[in-house]
Amino acid sequence: MSTKITGYGAPTTVVTGATRTGGVERAAGDGPQSGSGAPAGDSVTLTDSARTLQKLSDAIAAAPVVDGNRVEAVKSQIAQNTYKVDSLKVAAKLLASDQELPPH
The pLDDT score that the predictor gives to residue 54 is 93
Domain ranges for the chain, please list them: 11-100
Taking the C-alpha atoms of residue 70 and residue 35, their distance in angstroms, rounded to an integer, is 54
pLDDT band, very low/low/confident/very high, at 46 (cuts 50, 70, 90): confident
Span 59-77, mean pLDDT? 92
Question: What global pTM score does this model have?
Answer: 0.36
**If you average pLDDT over residues 10-19, what whole number do you get?**
51
Distance of CA 50 to the CA centre of its chain: 11
Element (DSSP H or E) covering residue 100: helix 87-100
